[in-house]
Amino acid sequence: MSWRRYKRWIVIGGVLVAVLAVAGIAAMHLAARSVRGSIQEALGPEGDAAEIKVGLTSIEIHDVRIKAPRGWPSDTALRAHRIVVVPDLRELLSDRVRVTSIEVQGAYLSALRPKEGGGLRVLPSVAERAKKNKGVGKARRGVVVSTVRLTDCIVEVYDATVPGKAQKLRADAVKGVVEDIRLPELTNRTRIALDGISRGPNRHGTIAIRGWVDVANKDAELHTQVRNVDLGLFEPYLITKIKSGIDSGSFGLDLRSRVKKNFVTASGTLTVVALKLRPSENPLGAIAALPREVAISALENEQHEITVPFKVEGDLDDPTFSLAGEGTLQTAVAVAKAFGASFEGLVRAFLIIVNGFTSAFRALVPG
């Protein structure tokens, strides 16, 4: 082959590479803009973002906020400092928008357990819009998200079922991954691995959740592990009768729960450490408190721990279930109830809150 002919093939090859590169860039930009439209639709009229940057292979969203409606315990339903969405460009022309990854940094999510009980509510305006779309049969293009990665997030749960003002439970520094999310059907097993910190007045504890959820069918299998969490944060769930409250103490929890059609079967161990009730200012009240102190001491081991292995069964929407197990458990539960404490209430709180997000997110999709 002559040099001139060889040179011509090099030029042709170069042109083909350039054309393919331009086509690839155009496809990537089109995919990014398609996902951007889905993001703007999801935010709705109550949501806004300071900036949505469309790049060649990803979209960056800065300072996202969805306002909460009137009557919500927080003024914000959702906010995030930065979200990076990476679409799967190979599936540009398919029936589904495929997203390789979503990275969420510095997010805040508020959830509410209504006074009438049952599951949790999140993003109320989005849920209401999804309900209306469902009513009119509005079609929606499917979305598959391979991985959502969370960094430095906050989750606040307001429980209005407790007497008085809604109890606020907060997890800080939440991080982890959620894998395989398929919208709108949500019929698959979405895997979860999340960790957070519970900041109390006396100590900082940790909360870890591992397992999977099938949102549409209200099925789940989760392992919740709590370590060194301040008991004072959960006082309304533990203290049922006495007015003195908790002076100090912490607790740990190992909870394995299996939910099928919203019916939960769970087992685990609750460990209450160095429980001390706040002394009464009334002298007569202080004298009456002595039997409680004796009862607590009788339940504790040498490390000042009260260990309660348990089993639980019940409907998550009507959580009237009680702890069950061997005789020593029943003795501990009975003694605790005698001095106005409820180990059952503490366990139920975690069961309802952790599993309650399953039904909460189901309400956000119109399908």
User: What does 218-287 look like in DSSP terms, one character per residue?
Assistant: TEEEEEEEEEEEEGGGGHHHHBSS-SS-EEEEEEEEEEEEEEETTEEEEEEEEEEEEEEEPPPSSHHHHH
- pTM of the shown model: 0.82
Given a cut of 80, whether residue 27 has pLDDT beyond it is: no
The reported pLDDT for the residue numbered 92 is 56
Over residues 147-180, the pLDDT tens digits come to 999 999 999 999 998 877 888 999 999 999 999 9
Given a cut of 80, whether residue 55 has pLDDT beyond it is: no
What is the pLDDT confidence band of residue 290, given thresholds at 50, 70 and 90?
very low
Q: Which has more pLDDT, 222 or 282?
A: 222
- Average pLDDT value over all residues in the chain: 78
Dihedral of CA 143/146/149/154: which sign? Answer: positive
**Dist CA 218 CA 233 (whole Å):** 28
User: What mean pLDDT is predicted for residues 77-82?
Assistant: 93
What is the pLDDT confidence band of residue 239, given thresholds at 50, 70 and 90?
confident
**Dist CA 315 CA 330 (whole Å):** 22
User: What mean pLDDT is predicted for residues 43-51?
Assistant: 80
Domain boundaries, the chain: 1-184, 199-367
Asked if residue 238 lies in contact with residue 231, where contact means CB atoms within 8 angstroms, the answer is yes
Over residues 324-359, the pLDDT tens digits come to 766 556 666 666 665 666 778 888 888 888 888 877
**Dist CA 204 CA 122 (whole Å):** 26
What is the pLDDT confidence band of residue 23, given thresholds at 50, 70 and 90?
very low
Alpha helices in 96-178 (DSSP H): 124-135
Given a cut of 90, whether residue 240 has pLDDT beyond it is: no
Given a cut of 80, whether residue 282 has pLDDT beyond it is: no
Instruction: Name the percent of the chain lying above pLDDT 90.
Output: 28
